[in-house]
Structure 1
């Protein structure tokens, strides 16, 4: 039975790979016409809402915010406007913002693959309740993720639910009903969905001659009834008289009433309304984002959107007996970074600490509070030991899944990895997250290490070259370095941590030679680069020469010369440029027959990100994010996004292998807003680096564009193994088990070989150590079409906190252990939410004692008090905040007569501040809004106390909790004679 179910599932997935099945706004690209895609809709909504939040923050702080919030926004414009650096020439990185937006629209796009036949994920077949459940349960999961600082998981969930919300406006007749605002009830589970066409209510008539403009029944429109089209790729059956979605793969559209009503693109059945539907989808997405914003607060909302130009500071530290010096140095360098950058634009956006030893690792500390990080790293002590290997890779796995994509992680150890079996898992996470890992390996050069044993004596043991090679391989895969140094010289190389924590660090050039050979490497330095630094690792016998664009040279025998100054410690040479002015072609010549690496970095706003995407076959092909490795010998496609400049022209994107013998040029196609689809034909087997070259005309001081070069740190690897896995739920309830089917096959020239047979080793790992089952191997049998299926199960403990994320990695390796591919699946743990009711507000009293003289309004105050409750069965009020107003808010918690907790909100403001809006958020993120308004009267009649809108019963219980938040006091000499009448309006 299981085998039959798996076979059916993979048959459906195979069918769904035909892009004609995509029955929504196009996921990523629209190659013809001006149709809007889910990518554009999501990006516009994110940029506009992010800009609005930054504008409101600037206003509350008395700062100017000069940016028009419209559809012309770009990530670079928004981040620069949101930045407090203050100058247009400042070095600002927008990589994290671009990456976060990409995560959301890639997650959005994958819904058309994973949930292509799900009516509720697309609002097909009049499944309005089901569609709303997808949205509201997803919103609850996002809020829970943010509460635990799991922003990466929150973005992936947010992207998927936005797809469903956006499809409503294309698949229903909301636009045809003349609606010009979003249907807010779709994000509010406590509100009824009204005016739905009943199951027996006819909704459409036949299209005439292919013209579907008037196929909705007049009675339906006159009564304002809501419907959506039916869609099926296998059967034409549908209820009598009902509308179809439409399109050549929708069989229901061939049955009376024929035709469709979708507005997915300009060529759809109701394509003339496509742009109206897309605009509404943008506004609806913004409305949803606003709900999340109010629930989580402005700061966490901006973190969810990825609006940060600084990286995280992430340490993975061995805490066994011989590591006391290393721990002390990690403390010193991290404290120095924190103390120098606190309160600046370069302050790390988050801090991550993972200790490890043997037999334990963790816990992971993830915080945005530098003092919390300091306290935890201060608590680390070096103790224990005995045997040499430690659980280094287990600790690194935690850090990789917790850190945002494109982060840099520093690992401190002086021991081999006891868990070397996790190497392929770590490599998969590095490639998937595009995270750089640098290892600080102490006393490796000495070849021996001393460690206090359990009896108080010392034991020593040589670390083999294979032990060290494991770290070198992982560093190379990530674009990091394996720095081998004595403990006494560790402080000489930790400057690399300070270098990487600087703002807007970019990789200009990077190469690894293994085996080593003498070679010359050229790279381009452009005018935007500052603080150029080169790192060369290799044997002590290595020599090098640096040559500038003007022909000036400096050899490795000159520690301080005309071009750079450099220091040597262990196997690392660090070169720091003396000037930022010499643009053009530079060269580094290295003379060594031993393995070595060269990396050149600088600070610049101009950078790029890339993601591997795969095409769906069919007449109207589109793309989705590809997990795992590209198939050897086949085509490979990248979506490349240039960051930091709106004036960049990309001229070339290439893949070159690490040996330098192969270079593959890509074909570029602009898809708008600095994004390029780059296609490579017949990529050979191997490891490749991505290099981008282009021209930047942003500087007005140059008559010709500046030529620039950037390189991605993470390697792209190809594989002859095809591994696909699909998960139908991105959220798992605590105490439940989820099954993830996967399929493995051998590919030749990028195509599955349907006659191949063989056995593959299977490994499945998750970063939470949850109970999991998977086959140890799968076998492709004769006559199976070249494929083998399997299933991984994952069980979440019942006591896991809602909002926790879990990353599952599935790997398949060939029998010869020479090739591997993987799939990385991200999921959130989300408890089912039963509290869907928003907090309720009732006014207790309002004082109105404002003076009649306008000159005295700034020195006089008015006050109102309200009770906020979440009901007997609610989860309780979690926070109350001022959304609008310049007064002071105090809250206290008391017990009501019925046993419910009541939050008493007391707001006091100047008589010159006439409006207040409070938001109350319960513990699962439901938001209620309370509005108070002071109205100026036209006559100078004294006013004492007017009757409140609703008067709450007196509360006599003592307060058990009190909080306070202050606002700005606004003074003016133009206040009229005011008598304050406050009304509370519940939204």
Structure 2
């Protein structure tokens, strides 16, 4: 049992609150030791920010230690390297607007899994072999972002929101497609850039088989029994269940998911006359249709991801693709607009607002100030990221004073946080919803999403 599971059990049985964990499928939620969409956004941006500081400082002919910038750093540490004479308080103040913007992007990224318009839309997630549609979505969003940023009179909040929307779809490519199973060692450089992102499986072409998938029957713990109702749980652990020729020939495929609809509102159903892959998970009904199983790599557990053992590689590719997007965006709009878009050097108005927010101890939804990464893929320390996340959750649950801990609160986002779908089943904490509709203890908690 991992630390987070122990924490859940402790919280429930210590009569502090009721803890109702919804299993999270995509990176956007905290499924055991899985890397999430929000962390991928921040890690990718930190890398891009490091390159920005290196280039700008070099252009200004400032003497800097380039290698030091390439090492593992947080956002604040990069600001300290760029401005060695600044105090910690000044760094906190001047980096706050940028952090707030990244936090906004993270929220919009998560909402793709909660917004009724996108949560069951294949093209928002590269599901159901919707490669052309998903790529067109990214291309449209990218063009609109560039157009908005180049207009100096336009409010940039809209562009920032679109970045979150775009990055979610881009990141899902690596956990939902068979790109990794093909044996690829680099990210797909064509997504969002050109029409053709690779050869796609034909509609009548078989892509998966049941061979290699093992059905798992798992007893429910108290949380799972409350949520799933049907126990024992059934899901699949799959290896080499993609048709061999599909991977050998470099043909793209992705899994079908139950209860999906295209942008016209028409149902997207897994074919019954040809063996197509399922997304897979304990929540995906298509995983029980021939061919059984699935291929997603969203989480690091077979309960939610039949190809769970490839999760880390999918996360690494997603981080690289996220950084690549930010770097390419910077080339398209120029350093001045990139600076303005992310408030790297904030205006006086932004600084004043930041000062008020800091004074009022306002917290971010998802941004974690202690998250760090270097410019090398090998510098990704997932264990460190996960330990930091656990510490933040503990500080939140037990009201430990930690100004760097996010709130994980989406109550201001006008979404149905009790909504459950395969793409996002948020972890909810609310004293009004308990296993037996009883109130445990006195402490009150808002709905939060982790």
TM-score (norm. length: structure 1)? 0.32
Could you tell me how far apart the structure 2 residues matched to 1:65 and 1:109 are?
A: 37
CA contact (8 A) 2:103 2:364 kept: no
Name the SS for the 2:359 alignment partner: strand
Cα 1:197–1:18 shift into 2, 3 Å? farther
| Counterpart Cα distance in 1 of 2:258 and 2:319 | 27
Matched residue SS, 1:297: helix
CA separation of 1:70 and 1:39: change in aligned 2, threshold 3 A? farther
2:296 aligned residue: 262
Quote the Cα distance in structure 2 between the aligned partners of 1:692 and 1:209: 43
- Tell me the alpha carbon deviations over residues 465-484 of structure 1, each in whole angstroms, 9 at most, x when there is no partner: xxxxxxxxxxxxxxxxxxxx
Taking the TM superposition and a 5 Å limit, the aligned residue runs for 1:675-690 are 675-676=392-393
1:167 equivalenced with 2:172 (yes/no)? yes
What's the offset of the Cα at 1:193?
Answer: 3.2
Judged with a 3 Å threshold, the aligned counterparts in structure 2 of structure 1 residues 141 and 186 are, in CA distance, closer, same or farther, namely same
1:507 aligned residue:
359
> Any idea what SS the aligned residue of 1:277 has?
helix
Deviation for aligned residue 1:270? 1.0
The Cα shift of 1:169 comes to: 0.4
8 Å Cα contact 1:259/1:269 also seen in 2: yes
* Cα distance change of structure 1 residues 670 and 266 upon mapping to structure 2, 3 Å threshold: closer
Which of 138, 146, 149 is the equivalent residue of 2:149?
146
Alpha-carbon distance change, 144 to 723 in structure 1, aligned in 2, over 3 angstroms: closer
Following TM superposition, by how much is the alpha carbon of 1:309 offset from its aligned partner in structure 2, in angstroms?
5.3
Task: Measure, in 2, the Cα distance between the counterparts of 1:283 and 1:154.
Answer: 21
Residues 45 and 323, structure 2, Cα contact 8 Å, conserved in 1: yes
From 286, 292, 303, give the equivalent of 2:323. Answer: 286
How has the CA–CA distance of structure 1 residues 676 and 78 changed in structure 2, closer, same or farther, with 3 Å as cutoff?
farther
Higher relative contact order (CA 8 A, sep 6+): 2
Give 1:155 shift.
1.4
CA distance in 2 between partners of 1:63 and 1:266 (Å): 44
Report the equivalent of 2:26.
24
Quick one: structure 1 residues 672 and 309, their matched pair in 2 at CA, closer, same or farther if it must change by over 3 Å? farther
141, 145, 157: which one pairs with 2:162?
157
Q: 2 CA distance for matches of 1:272 and 1:68? A: 33
Deviations 1:110-145 (A, max 9, x none): 111112210000100100011011111111121122
1:869-880 mapped onto 2 (5 Å cutoff): none
Shift in Å, 1:218? 1.1
Q: What's the CA shift for 1:91?
A: 2.8
**Contact map agreement 1:230 1:243 (CA 8 A) in 2:** yes
- 8 A Cα contact 2:188 2:197, kept in partner: no
Match of 2:128 among 125, 128, 133: 125
Alpha-carbon deviation of 1:247? 0.4
Could you say what secondary structure the match of 1:186 adopts? coil
Q: Of the candidates 246, 251, 263, which is equivalent to residue 280 of structure 2? A: 246
Once residues 71 and 177 of structure 2 are traced to their aligned partners in structure 1, the CA distance between those partners, rounded to angstroms, is: 24
Task: Sort the Cα spacing of 1:724 and 1:250 in 2 relative to 1 into closer, same or farther, 3 A.
Answer: closer
Q: How far apart, CA to CA, are the structure 2 residues paired with 1:693 and 1:276?
A: 35
1:609 matched to 2:339? The reply is no
What residue number does 2:196 align with? 192
Instruction: Supply the distance in 2 between the matched residues of 1:96 and 1:608 (Cα, whole angstroms).
Output: 12
Secondary structure of residue in 2 paired with 1:91: helix
Distance 2:70 2:393 in 1: 23
Cα shift at 1:109? 0.7
| Counterpart selection for 2:181 from 169, 176, 193 | 176
Q: Is the 8 A contact 1:104 1:155 kept in 2?
A: yes
For residues 135 and 205 of structure 2, the distance between their equivalents in structure 1, rounded to whole angstroms, comes to 21
Deviation digits for residues 544-564 of structure 1 (CA, Å, limit 9, x no counterpart): xxxxxxxxxxxxxxxxxxxxx
User: Contact (CA 8 Å) 1:95, 1:609: kept in 2 or not?
Assistant: no
Query: How far is 1:81 from its partner?
Result: 2.5
Output aligned runs, 1:660-675, within 5 Å.
Answer: 671-672=388-389, 675=392
SS in 2 for 1:672: helix
1:780-795 equivalent positions in 2, closer than 5 A: none
Q: Equivalences for 1:821-860 in 2 at 5 Å?
A: none
Report if aligned partners of 2:178, 2:254 keep a CA contact under 8 Å in 1. yes
Q: What secondary structure, in the 3-state scheme, does the structure 1 residue paired with 2:241 have?
A: coil
User: Counterpart in 2 of 1:202?
Assistant: 206
In structure 2, relative to structure 1, the CA distance for the partners of 1:24 and 1:69 (3 Å cut) is farther
**Pairs within 5 Å for 1:310-349:** 311-312=348-349
CA-CA distance at 1:693 after TM superposition: 4.0
Aligned-partner Cα distance in 2 for 1:310–1:205: 57
Deviations 1:719-771 (A, max 9, x none): 9xx97589xxxxxxxxxxxxxxxxxxxxx9857xxxxxxxxxxxxxxxxxxxx
Q: Specify the SS of the correspondent of 1:266.
A: coil
- Distance in 2 between residues matched to 1:113 and 1:271, nearest whole Å: 23
Residue 271 of structure 1, aligned match among 298, 308, 333: 308
**SS of corresponding position for 1:246:** coil
CA distance in 1 between counterparts of 2:345 and 2:149 reads: 16
- Which residue in 2 is equivalent to 1:47? 46
- 1:198-222 alpha-carbon deviations (Å, 9 max, x no partner): 1111111103324411101111122
Rounded to whole Å, the distance in 1 between the matches of 2:167 and 2:322 is: 7
* Number of corresponding residues: 347
Q: How far does the alpha carbon of each residue in 1:660-688 deviate from its partner, in whole angstroms, 9 at most, with x for none?
A: xxxxxxxxx9753985576579xxxxxxx
Q: Is the alpha carbon distance of 1:39 and 1:644 closer, same or farther for their aligned partners in structure 2, counting shifts above 3 Å?
A: closer
Give, in whole Å, the separation in 1 of the partners of 2:52 and 2:390: 22
Distance in structure 2 (CA, Å) of the matches to 1:37 and 1:724? 19
Whole-Å separation in 2 of the counterparts to 1:230 and 1:198: 14
CA contact (8 A) 1:212 1:260 kept: yes
The yes-or-no answer on 1:101 pairing with 2:102 is yes
1:434-468 deviation per Cα after TM superposition (whole angstroms, max 9, x unaligned): xx6xxxxxxxxxxxxxxxxxxxxxxxxxxxxxxxx
- Secondary structure of 2:363's aligned partner: strand
Q: Is the 8 A contact 1:173 1:261 kept in 2?
A: yes
- CA distance, structure 1, for counterparts of residue 64 and residue 88 of structure 2: 17
Say which structure is richer in helix: 2
Q: Distance in 1 between matches of 2:394 and 2:293?
A: 34
Residue number in structure 2 paired with 1:305: 342
Cα displacement (A) at 1:101: 1.5
Q: What is the distance in 2 between the residues matched to 1:72 and 1:283?
A: 15
- Report the secondary structure of 2:199's partner residue: coil
Residues in 2 aligned to 1:138 and 1:241: alpha-carbon distance in whole angstroms: 33
Residue aligned with 1:112, SS: coil
Distance, in Å, in 1 between the alignment partners of 2:140 and 2:103 is: 22
Contact 1:136 1:188 in 2 (8 A): yes
Q: Alpha-carbon deviation of 1:87?
A: 4.9
Deviation by residue 1:575-608 (Cα, 9 ceiling, x = unmatched):
xxxxxxxxxxxxxxxxxxxxxxxxxxxxxxxx76
Across the aligned residues of Structure 1 and Structure 2, the Cα RMSD in angstroms comes to: 3.9
Find out whether 1:220 has 2:222 as its counterpart. no
Residue-by-residue CA offset, 1:885-938 (whole Å, 9 max, x unaligned): xxxxxxxxxxxxxxxxxxxxxxxxxxxxxxxxxxxxxxxxxxxxxxxxxxxxxx
Is the alpha carbon distance of 1:307 and 1:608 closer, same or farther for their aligned partners in structure 2, counting shifts above 3 Å? Answer: farther
User: Deviation of residue 44 (structure 1)?
Assistant: 0.7
